[in-house]
Amino acid sequence: MTNYRMIVQYDGTRYNGWQKQGDTDNTIQQKLETILTRMVDGSPNSPVDVHGAGRTDAGVHARGQVAQFRLETDKTPDEIRDYLNEYLPDDIGVTSVAVAAPRFHSRFNASQKTYLYRICKDKSYHVFDRKYLYEYRGSLDTAAMKVATIQLRGEHDFRSFCGNPRMRKSTVRKLYAIHIIETPDEIDLEFIGEGFLQYMVRILVGTLIEVGEGKRDPFSMKELLEAKDRNLAGPTAPARGLTLMEVKYN
């Protein structure tokens, strides 16, 4: 079978996340698999398997999700893309499909992922952006937040920022950069890392917001990392503000 890679965009508002689940077909992965299986006249009992680079949570969006699948077809990559876009819901789109190396795997070969979290500090109501940002509607001390990010960069055990209390695998991750960009209306937090734990970015955001509110010392991040205790970190920020922007490969 030929191995393919595709770039997928989606508005995650009405979906139960990326990963397929046994009790619902309302996931991005399931929508893609169903259409690809239909395209090759496959049986629902033996679907085409689609693997995403990032298993985004319910309500999280993507502009640059990378997914990979194997199938046999006479269609060109562009024809596969067009077929998918014809039958996918309007809030899911495939921007490109290409033949990949036989051993390429979108998740296991990923070397870097970039997430963007948008916080609205403007107190006016943003009708057209409301599904893609967290309407905090208040001021935050971004200088203090930037100080806090210094201790978070690098390779650490991020168990305090993991949303899965039963996580048995390693919770060590490498965070290359956290950029905080402030505009008159927004505070945008960009996270660039080798990989991320479940809810990790949203817990980091919730913790940094507490720093910006003056509720948490910006120099306490090292202590929080060493504690390896989720209960000591901040709340999980709302899903709607988070977007997977890009996935890179070596």
What confidence category does residue 46 fall into, taking pLDDT thresholds of 50, 70 and 90?
confident
CATH number of domain containing 58: 3.30.70.580
Q: Are residues 238 and 153 in the same domain?
A: yes
Lowest mean pLDDT among 35-49, 108-122, 183-197: 35-49
Q: Mean pLDDT throughout 197-212?
A: 98
Type of residue found at 122: D
- Nearest alpha-carbon partner for 245 in 201, 204, 211, 210: 201
Q: Is residue 57 annotated as a catalytic residue, yes or no?
A: yes
Q: Are residues 127 and 237 in the same domain?
A: yes
Q: Give the SS3 label for residue 179.
A: strand
Per annotation, catalytic residue among 23, 25, 41, 57: 57
User: pLDDT per residue over 78-122, tens digit each?
Assistant: 999 999 999 999 999 999 999 999 999 999 999 999 999 999 987
In this prediction, residue 121 carries a pLDDT of 87
Q: What's the pTM value of the predicted model, to 2 decimals?
A: 0.95
Structural domain boundaries enclosing 70: 2-99
Q: Give the SS3 label for residue 55.
A: coil
Task: Enumerate the H helices of the chain as residue ranges.
Answer: 28-39, 77-87, 142-152, 200-213, 221-227
CATH number of domain containing 212: 3.30.70.660
Q: Are residues 171 and 197 in the same domain?
A: yes
Domain total in the chain: 2
Q: Give the SS3 label for residue 206.
A: helix
- Average pLDDT over the chain reads 95
- Residue 211 inside a domain? The answer is yes
